[in-house]
């Protein structure tokens, strides 16, 4: 499990296509299983995770990867609009390659 600083929930998304998406939530104390599906499944999972993290008083971090940059950007923008509609006030974006994301995860993995 990734080590997440206290009070931060990480929502991880891997996008292949609009119909092939998997996501999971890394809570401060545990990780959920990967949920696989399409856009509707992603948005339900994301809405649940953001609302639950809000009710827990936690910030949320989104980590998304996609081989198709345009598709990944489109889904990222949709999720950003969802957060804004829920009243999220602080958003930022960091883009990195899959290799950089894997290296970051390896640096923060419990052994």
The contacts of residue 59 (CB under 8 Å, 6+ apart) are: 7, 8, 9, 53
102 token code pair? 């894997």
User: Over the stretch 5-60, which tens digit does the pLDDT of each residue have?
Assistant: 567 888 899 999 999 999 999 888 888 899 999 999 999 999 888 888 888 888 88
- The whole-number pLDDT of residue 36 equals 97
**Nearest C-alpha neighbor of 65 from the set 91, 92, 98, 89:** 98
pTM of the model: 0.72
Let me know: does 9 contact 62? Beta carbons within 8 Å: no
For 85, the enclosing helix (H) or strand (E) is helix 69-85
| Cα(3)–Cα(56) distance, integer angstroms | 18
pLDDT in tens, 56-84: 888 888 888 888 989 988 998 888 888 77
Looking at per-residue pLDDT, the higher value among 4 and 77 belongs to: 77
How far, in whole angstroms, is CA 2 from its chain's centroid?
13
User: Would you say 23 and 14 are in contact if contact means Cβ atoms under 8 Å apart?
Assistant: yes
Can you list the domains of the chain with their CATH numbers? 8-107 (3.30.420)
- Indicate the pLDDT class of residue 3, thresholds 50, 70 and 90: very low
């Amino acid at each position: 499990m990734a080590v997440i600083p206290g009070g931060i929930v990480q929502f991880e998304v891997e996008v292949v296509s609009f119909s092939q998406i998997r996501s999971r939530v890394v809570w401060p104390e545990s990780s959920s299983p990967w949920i696989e599906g399409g856009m509707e499944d992603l948005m339900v999972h994301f809405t649940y995770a953001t609302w639950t993290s809000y009710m827990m008083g936690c910030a949320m971090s989104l980590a998304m990867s996609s081989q198709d940059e345009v598709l990944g950007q489109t889904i990222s923008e949709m999720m950003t609009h969802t957060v804004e509609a829920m009243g999220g006030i602080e958003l930022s974006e960091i883009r990195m390659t899959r290799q950089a994301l894997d290296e970051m995860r390896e640096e923060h993995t419990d052994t």
